């Protein structure tokens, strides 16, 4: 590679006196209008006569900080519910919910005068305090952003920016100072466990593949992220694609592989686009290729787009898909490290695991192990969604508790209108459709592999869905069972048919047609599916049902025995009426009824015709006087 160019990029920095406007361009912010925000900033800055720089290569030339401004794009900054997000540097002023029309105000007030645009500052939903910098916001303050630190600061389309921040230095160190044996030992000593869900030792997996004698070996990055509510891998690729490449190259050196695949969902077009550009730029720079980083090591990467099958997140099904076969799991052993892709030794790690590898090498084992617990060191990224004030992408040490995540970082539980609900917590689904529902009794449980496994739950890939007291747990169990039943590849009879039978029972219960024996049938079927399924999807498919039965059995019994849905969600078990003493005759309920089941004159008490009512709940949601009764 061109050593002069690499050295030049290493020292490319945005000067401290150069004002920079950074706009988040993660998927969430782009969906909220970040592209229009960037265009507006560019237009207004140019109107004021500034030269607008948007890449580090333009900084290689002399610039006049008085007449120049830097407009920078970053990956996901985490606080997805508040996007588009904008930061003004070097002051670090942080703005949320920025629209294109706000660009002029930010430039005129903050960039030119150093003043705040107060209505765009983050406002704490509980204390109503405004915060100027991210370090003051509880959402960020409670995190330890190591893997995500670069994603929210780097331009994902700039290899220069990545190298300037220390990128590819870990790879250089590995190539110059380590051999494959010592590298595998270092990763084992760091205690890095696979962040895709199983928590297997990464160093041990590499060592197994390293010891296999073969003229051809592969490294696969598993970016087939299919859990509902999970977007960790997608956001990392969108925000820091070169870190994925660097992690893969280090893994390849550890096992003597010369070829790699990134298997990413086709539903992630932005991640695919940025990943392919990063690969092309790394090849052009001489980092990837036959003489990687100017060494005698060769490594090439291809991107393969998955068709969206959830089962292809399982490593053997994923390899079958890359080989052009139907994505179905096979029996193990042999494990991929022994006989994997095209029958050759293969290491498969997920995105978060691979991005953590360069971090470990830069920090050192001792420093890395300071975070987390003894058996689960380091940090874990979670996608925090559902009934929580601050939804988004978070990174915390692996000994962090649910209480810290939901109440401190998440800002607390929200009601159905997004308002803070002090005592509204009911459950949290962790680990995706293969995970379990946890309750308030688990609030002080550390979020690490062993602690969660001890109560029948799992870290999974990192999806975390918070549910308030208006959530029906029978409906939640049915939702996840519907998902896993749809996604079953059909190879195993118990997974293919057993999940269908469980779903049928849950649907019957929701309709008010359940019988007490159904609960025993659900538990028996769950045990058979777990014992007889081939892959992780089938073995964990019953987990949401089993956990809700364990902690919310009274709700199942209310559906079956009392023919009542306590949360008022299951339409067949809910009826509505109007309290004539509370009704003011505002007509709002009647105007929102989709089947005209509500009658009454203005300013007179209304009534609901039970023969017409479909129990949709529209009247209950819009009534401002608590006159609509639900039973």
Q: What is the DSSP string of 476-514?
A: HHHHHHHHHHHH--S-SHIIIIIHHHHHHHHHHHHTT--
Name the CATH code of domain 14-136 (choices 3.40.50.300, 3.40.1390.10, 3.40.30.10, 1.10.4080.10).
3.40.30.10
Mean pLDDT of 477-486: 92
Which phi and psi angles does 240 have, rounded to 5°? Answer: -150, 60
What torsion do the CA atoms of 299, 323, 433, 369 make, to the nearest 10 degrees? -20
Note whether 470 and 415 are within 8 A (CB).
yes
Question: Around Cβ 502, how many Cβ atoms within 10 Å?
Answer: 25
For the cut 90, the answer to whether the pLDDT of residue 455 exceeds it is no
For the cut 80, the answer to whether the pLDDT of residue 229 exceeds it is no
What torsion do the CA atoms of 426, 431, 432, 436 make, to the nearest 10 degrees? -50
For the cut 70, the answer to whether the pLDDT of residue 62 exceeds it is no
Question: What is the separation of C-alpha 11 from the centre of its chain, rounded to a whole number of angstroms?
Answer: 33
For residue 224, the SS3 value is coil
Q: Do domains 14-136 and 159-368 have the same CATH topology?
A: no
R_g of the chain, CA atoms, integer Å: 27
Mean pLDDT of 481-485: 92
The pLDDT, as a whole number, for residue 11 is: 66
C-alpha span between 340 and 343 (Å, rounded): 5
> pLDDT tens for residues 299-346?
999 999 998 888 888 899 999 999 999 999 998 999 999 999 999 999
Percent of the chain with pLDDT over 90: 75
The pLDDT, as a whole number, for residue 555 is: 96
For the cut 80, the answer to whether the pLDDT of residue 198 exceeds it is no
Domain extent listing, the chain: 14-136, 159-368, 379-471, 474-560, 575-630
436-438, strands of its sheet edge to edge: 392-397, 379-386, 463-468, 425-430, 436-438
Contacts of 576 (CB under 8 A, 6+ apart): 608, 613, 615, 617, 619, 620, 628, 629, 630, 631
Q: Pinpoint the alpha helices (H) of 71-136.
A: 103-105
Which phi and psi angles does 245 have, rounded to 5°? Answer: -60, -45
Of the pLDDT bands very low, low, confident and very high (cuts 50, 70, 90), residue 128 is confident
Q: Pinpoint the alpha helices (H) of 380-498.
A: 402-403, 449-453, 473-487, 493
C-alpha span between 285 and 454 (Å, rounded): 48
Of the pLDDT bands very low, low, confident and very high (cuts 50, 70, 90), residue 231 is confident
Of the pLDDT bands very low, low, confident and very high (cuts 50, 70, 90), residue 92 is very high
C-alpha span between 318 and 304 (Å, rounded): 10
Mean pLDDT of 132-150: 92
Q: What is the DSSP letter of 535?
A: S
The pLDDT, as a whole number, for residue 60 is: 67
The crossing angle, in degrees rounded to 10, of helices 180-190 and 202-211 is 160
Whats the size of the chain, residue-wise? 631
User: 379-471 — its CATH code?
Assistant: 3.10.20.600
Looking at the domain 474-560, which fold is it?
Answer: de novo design (two linked rop proteins) (1.20.1440)
Mean pLDDT of 399-404: 93
Mean pLDDT of 295-300: 94
Per DSSP bridges, beta strands 300-306 and 86-89 are: unpaired
Of the pLDDT bands very low, low, confident and very high (cuts 50, 70, 90), residue 137 is very high
The upper half-sphere exposure of residue 596, i.e. CA atoms within 13 Å in the direction of its Cβ, equals 0
Q: Kindly report the pTM of this predicted structure.
A: 0.92
Contacts of 366 (CB under 8 A, 6+ apart): none
Q: What is the DSSP letter of 578?
A: E
Judged on CB neighbours under 10 Å (0-12, 13-18, 19+), 81 is: buried
For the cut 90, the answer to whether the pLDDT of residue 152 exceeds it is no
Which of 11-20, 34-43, 50-59, 393-402 bottoms out in mean pLDDT, i.e. has the lowest?
A: 11-20
Question: What is the separation of C-alpha 432 from the centre of its chain, rounded to a whole number of angstroms?
Answer: 11
The pLDDT, as a whole number, for residue 13 is: 75
Per DSSP bridges, beta strands 300-306 and 259-265 are: parallel
Question: Which residue's structure tokens are 């009934």?
Answer: 387
For the cut 90, the answer to whether the pLDDT of residue 579 exceeds it is yes
End-to-end CA distance of the chain: 72
C-alpha span between 401 and 418 (Å, rounded): 23
Which of 15-19, 184-188, 300-304, 390-394 bottoms out in mean pLDDT, i.e. has the lowest?
A: 15-19
C-alpha span between 233 and 246 (Å, rounded): 15
Cis peptide before 334, with omega less than 30 degrees from 0? yes
For the cut 60, the answer to whether the pLDDT of residue 130 exceeds it is yes
> pLDDT tens for residues 232-278?
899 999 999 999 999 999 999 999 999 999 999 888 999 999 999 99
126 sits in which H/E element:
none
Contacts of 398 (CB under 8 A, 6+ apart): 371, 372, 373, 376, 377, 378, 379, 380, 446, 447, 448, 449
> Was domain 159-368 assigned CATH 3.40.50.620?
no
The pLDDT, as a whole number, for residue 441 is: 93
Of the pLDDT bands very low, low, confident and very high (cuts 50, 70, 90), residue 534 is confident
Q: What is the DSSP letter of 399?
A: T
The pLDDT, as a whole number, for residue 418 is: 84
Mean pLDDT of 499-505: 96
Name the CATH code of domain 575-630 (choices 3.40.50.1000, 3.40.50.300, 3.20.20.80, 3.30.70.20).
3.30.70.20
Mean pLDDT of 544-552: 94
Of the pLDDT bands very low, low, confident and very high (cuts 50, 70, 90), residue 459 is confident
For residue 350, the SS3 value is strand
For residue 233, the SS3 value is helix
Copy the structure tokens of residue 84.
């588009």
For the cut 90, the answer to whether the pLDDT of residue 46 exceeds it is yes
| Mean pLDDT taken over the chain | 92
Contacts of 494 (CB under 8 A, 6+ apart): 528, 529, 531, 532, 533, 538
72 sits in which H/E element:
strand 68-74
């Amino acid at each position: 590679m061109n050593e002069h160019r690499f050295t030049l990029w290493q020292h490319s920095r945005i000067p401290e006196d150069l004002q920079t406007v950074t706009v988040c361009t993660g998927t969430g912010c782009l969906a909220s209008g970040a592209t229009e925000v960037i265009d507006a900033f560019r237009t207004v800055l140019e109107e004021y006569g500034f030269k607008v720089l948007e890449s580090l290569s333009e900084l290689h030339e002399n610039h006049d900080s008085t007449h120049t401004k830097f407009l920078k794009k970053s990956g996901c900054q985490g606080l997805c519910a508040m996007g588009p997000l904008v930061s003004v540097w070097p002051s670090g002023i942080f703005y949320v919910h920025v629209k294109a029309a706000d660009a002029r105000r930010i430039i005129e007030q903050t960039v030119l005068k150093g003043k705040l645009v107060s209505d765009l500052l983050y406002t704490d939903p509980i204390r109503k305090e405004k915060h100027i910098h991210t370090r003051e916001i509880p959402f960020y303050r409670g995190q330890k952003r190591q893997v995500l630190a670069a994603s929210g600061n780097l331009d994902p389309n700039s290899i220069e920016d990545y190298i300037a921040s220390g990128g590819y230095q870990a790879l250089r160190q590995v190539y110059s100072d380590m051999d494959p044996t010592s590298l595998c030992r270092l990763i084992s000593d760091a205690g890095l466990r696979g962040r895709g869900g199983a928590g297997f030792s990464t160093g041990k997996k590499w060592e197994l593949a390293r010891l296999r004698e073969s003229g051809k070996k592969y490294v696969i990055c598993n970016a087939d992220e299919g859990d509902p509510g999970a977007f960790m891998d997608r956001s990392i690729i969108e925000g820091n694609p070169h870190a994925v490449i660097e992690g893969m190259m280090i893994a390849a050196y550890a096992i003597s592989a010369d070829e790699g695949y990134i298997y990413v969902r086709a539903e992630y077009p932005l991640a695919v686009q940025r990943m392919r550009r990063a690969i092309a730029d790394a090849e052009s720079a001489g980092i990837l290729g036959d003489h990687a980083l100017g060494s005698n090591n060769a490594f090439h990467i291809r991107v393969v787009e998955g068709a969206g099958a959830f089962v292809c997140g399982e490593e053997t099904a994923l390899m079958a898909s890359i080989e052009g076969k139907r994505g179905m799991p096979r029996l193990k052993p042999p494990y991929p490290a022994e006989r994997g892709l095209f029958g050759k030794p293969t290491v498969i790690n997920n995105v978060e695991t691979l991005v953590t590898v360069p971090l470990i090498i830069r920090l050192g084992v001792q420093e890395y192990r300071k975070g987390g617990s003894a058996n689960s060191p380091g940090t874990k990224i979670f996608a925090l969604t559902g009934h929580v004030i601050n939804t988004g992408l978070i990174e915390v040490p692996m000994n962090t508790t649910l209480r810290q995540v939901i109440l401190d970082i998440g800002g607390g539980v929200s009601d159905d209108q997004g308002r803070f609900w002090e005592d509204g917590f009911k459950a949290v689904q962790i680990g995706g459709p293969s995970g379990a529902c946890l309750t308030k009794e688990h609030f002080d449980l550390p979020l690490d592999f062993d602690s969660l496994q001890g109560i029948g739950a799992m870290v999974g890939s990192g999806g975390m869905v918070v549910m308030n007291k208006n959530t029906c747990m029978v409906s939640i169990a049915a939702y996840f069972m519907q998902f896993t039943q749809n996604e079953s590849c059909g190879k195993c009879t118990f997974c293919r048919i057993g999940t269908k039978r469980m779903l049928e029972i849950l649907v019957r219960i929701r309709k008010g047609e359940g019988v007490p024996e159904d609960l025993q049938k659900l538990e028996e079927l769950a045990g058979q599916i777990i014992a007889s399924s081939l892959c992780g999807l089938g073995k964990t498919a019953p987990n949401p049902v089993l956990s809700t039965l364990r902690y919310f059995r009274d709700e199942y019994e209310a559906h079956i025995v009392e023919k009542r849905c306590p949360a008022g969600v299951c339409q067949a078990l809910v009826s509505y009426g109007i309290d004539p003493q509370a009704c003011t005759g505002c007509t709002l309920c009647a105007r929102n009824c989709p089947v005209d089941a509500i009658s009454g004159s203005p300013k007179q008490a209304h009534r609901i015709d039970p023969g017409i009512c479909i129990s949709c709940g529209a009247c209950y949601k819009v009534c401002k006087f608590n006159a609509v009764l639900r039973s």
